[in-house]
Every structure is written in structure tokens, then in C-alpha cells.
Amino acid sequence: MLMKDKKSLQQELEELREEYSKTKDNKATNKHLSMIRAKIASINKQMTERKSAKGAGFSVKKSGDGVVALVGFPNAGKSSLLGILTNVESKVAGYAFTTLEVIPGMLLHKGANIQVLDLPGLIEEASSGKGGGAKIASVIRVTDLILFVVDIKNYTDLFKLLDELDMLGIRLNRRAPRARIERSWTGGINIEKNGHSAPDPRSVMKIFNEFGIYNANLILHQDLDSDQLVDLLSENIVYIKGIVALNKIDTLSSSECEHIRKEIVEKTEMEVVLVSAVEKKNIEELKDAIFNNLELIRIFLKPKEGEVDLAKPLVVKKGSSVFTVAKTLHSKIANNLRYAYVTGKSVKFSNQKVGSTHVVEDGDIVTLIYSKT
């Protein structure tokens, strides 16, 4: 792969992106689109590698049970929502000319502490193509959920935003493809399908070559299409969950709002909550949607002798075991854990005795039995 200077990479990227959107509009073949994606991804990778070599980073300290990033165009209502969802008063204006500020707030909901980040300027930077891509990816990497904030009157902004994130290597509500690449010195490009489907060998070879790879084994653990292969080779792809807050519903009739909500759900398959920051409408629904999409659950602890504490749930990730619950309390408790009694959705009957690997569910009442040493 020829190393080009920064300017020409940037130019090439812009030309490719233009070609990509034109081709997309013309509904040309998928193969051609995949090759353009491969070229874009390859250039993005080179540009990111250069940036990280220079040490230009951006980090947000993670705290609480989950991190949510508000992403949207200016004036969509991000700051207003942050102010309502969290306990911090975020300045509504005045950040337009700073490079990149993060305004965090803490959302307390159902016993969970959820960090909410307002990222003014992020989208403008990303759209300008001035290295915003690396920045946006570095912020989004530390978040657990993107909350797209969209002004319902400009709802098609969302599609632009999603296209933009897609180009930056951010994949929403999808999992990383289960496939592996093993580099080799000779033998060309080989595909171990293991019963799964793959693009035709010629396309696979061309895509590998685009990334400067001429000898390698591609090992599949699932069906893989060209776009997924490009993602696999790009390495810097981020997979993250996303939901939409369709804001300013006070400016349209409810039937118009519902119509737009349906269109977005159909086109993006994302969960959409209709809200109004100004009229504080559906804010509880939005909080619930955030909580659910962070895949958090509440566990209620009951001492061996005594009453269950329903006021202070313990918040853990969905899929957590009794051991994780114990560990969340204290590592000593986890280490001395013998078994537990559980009442709730995860068991067949009340006070069922379970082992430490038992997976708990939302609302379970748990009594931990541990030896006190």
C-alpha cells in the first residue's frame, strides 16, 4: 500500500465519498459499492493510524452503570434534554466555537447511575471531514449507547447522521462479524467457509488486496457479506447500540408525529421515543428506553433474616450471575459465596436455592449466603 501524503488522502476520501453517494443513488451493483467502501475504509484506517501515532486522543472518564452520548445536529434539543434528564444545568449556548467540549450529567433512574454526555460540535467536526472521524469514534468507543436527538420537523437529518456515522465506521445495533483473518506469507487468499456463505472468491481477493493483503486465510464462523468483510479488515469499526429521541413533538400534530415515528422505525429499525423537552413530554418513557437499552436490570437484596430492601436496588448488567451480584457488593462476599436464595422471574418457585453461576433477571429478590471468615 502506497503511503500518500495527508492532503491527497483527504482529497481521495472526499472523492470516494461523493462517488459512493452517487452510486448509491443510482442503485448500482452491490459489488461496486463494496469496493468503494473498502477503499474508504482503507483510507480511514491509514488516517486513523497516523492520528494515533501523533497521540491526538480524546477521552472521557467512564463512571456509573452506563454511558449515553447525545448525538444530533445543532438546535435539535440536546442541551435541553440533558438538562431535563440529568442533575446538571448545561449551558444551552456558548460552545459553538470551542473545538470539542463534553458536558456530562448524571441520570438517576430505577436505581441506576447513568452518565449522559452532551457532545456539542461533534457532528459539525465529523461532517467537515477534518479528522472529526477519529474524534467521534474515540468518544463513541467509551459509550454504551447513542441517543440520537432529532428535531421532528427536520427528521430527515437523522438519515444524514446515520450515513455519516456509517462512513466513520460506526455500526449501530449490529454485532461484530464472527470471522477471523490469519495472515500468511504465501498461498494467496483462501476462505474456510465452515458451511457458511461468503462473497465470490474474486470479490474476496479484490477486497483483501485493497487493504494491501495478498496472502491470508479467512475463517468464517457465520455468513459473511462484502460489507462485513470490509469491516473485518478495517479493524477500527465500532459496534454500538442506538435509539432515537424525536424531539419537539409540540410543534406538530400527534398524527403527523406518529407517521414520522413509523417511517423512522421502518427505515432504521431503531427504537424511537417521541418527546418534547420544552413541554417535558414522555421524559419518563425516554428514561426507561435508555435504561432498557443499556441492558441493565435491578436486583433487590434480602438479608437472611430480615426484609427485602425495595427502595435501593442493585443495578447490574443483563445476563449477570449471582456471583456478579455478590461481587458488585463486595469482592469478599463473592469470594466466600456458597449459594443464594432467589425469588422472581429467573426461578420456578419462591426462595429457590441456586448456585453462584445462576443468571438473575430484572426484579429478582436475592439472598446471598456466604461464609464469614
Ligand X SMILES: Nc1nc2c(ncn2[C@@H]2O[C@H](COP(=O)(O)OP(=O)(O)O)[C@@H](O)[C@H]2O)c(=O)[nH]1
Asked if 247 is part of the footprint of ligand X (rule: CB under 6 A), the reply reads: yes
Asked if 121 is part of the footprint of ligand X (rule: CB under 6 A), the reply reads: no
Q: Which of 34, 44, 48, 79 binds Mg ion (CB under 5 A)?
A: 79
72 binds, among Mg ion, ligand X, none (CB under 5 to 8 A by kind): ligand X
Between CA 213 and CA 183 the distance in angstroms is: 8
CA distances from 165 to 71, 112, 133, 229, 334 (A): 10, 28, 8, 18, 41
CA angle 364, 367, 368 (to 5 degrees): 120
367 binds, among ligand X, Mg ion, none (CB under 5 to 8 A by kind): none
135 binds, among ligand X, Mg ion, none (CB under 5 to 8 A by kind): none
Which element (helix H / strand E) includes 140? helix 132-141
Q: One symbol per residue from 205 to 234: x for binding Mg ion (CB under 5 A), - otherwise; what is it?
A: ------------------------------
Cell numbers for 46:
491509514
Asked if 80 is part of the footprint of Mg ion (rule: CB under 5 A), the reply reads: no
Cell numbers for 110:
430505577
Nearer to ligand X, 74 or 111 (CB): 74
Tally of helices (H runs) and strands (E runs) in the chain: 12, 15
Nearer to ligand X, 75 or 184 (CB): 75
Between CA 98 and CA 22 the distance in angstroms is: 33
Q: Write the CB contacts of 57 (distance below 8 Å, at least 6 apart in sequence).
A: 138
Residues numbered 116-145 forming contacts with Mg ion, rule: CB under 5 A? 120
Residues numbered 272-291 forming contacts with ligand X, rule: CB under 6 A? 276-278
Q: What is the 3-state secondary structure (H, E, C) of 187-243?
A: CCEEEECCCCCCCCHHHHHHHHHHCCCCCEEEEECCCCCHHHHHHHHHCCCEEEEEE
CB of 162 to Mg ion, least distance (A): 20
Q: Which of 66, 72, 104, 121 binds ligand X (CB under 6 A)?
A: 72
Shortest Cβ contact with Mg ion: which residue? 79
Nearer to ligand X, 72 or 169 (CB): 72
Asked if 86 is part of the footprint of Mg ion (rule: CB under 5 A), the reply reads: no
Of 341, 324, 335, 305, the residue nearest 314 (C-alpha): 324
Interacting stretch for ligand X, rule CB under 6 A, among 78-86, 127-135, 285-293, 355-363?
78-86
Asked if 78 is part of the footprint of ligand X (rule: CB under 6 A), the reply reads: yes
CA distances from 210 to 6, 167, 170, 229 (A): 18, 17, 20, 12
Nearer to ligand X, 3 or 96 (CB): 96
Asked if 203 is part of the footprint of Mg ion (rule: CB under 5 A), the reply reads: no
- Contact positions vs ligand X (CB under 6 A): 72, 74-80, 92, 247-248, 250-251, 276-278
Residues at the site binding Mg ion, with contacts judged by CB under 5 A: 78-79, 120
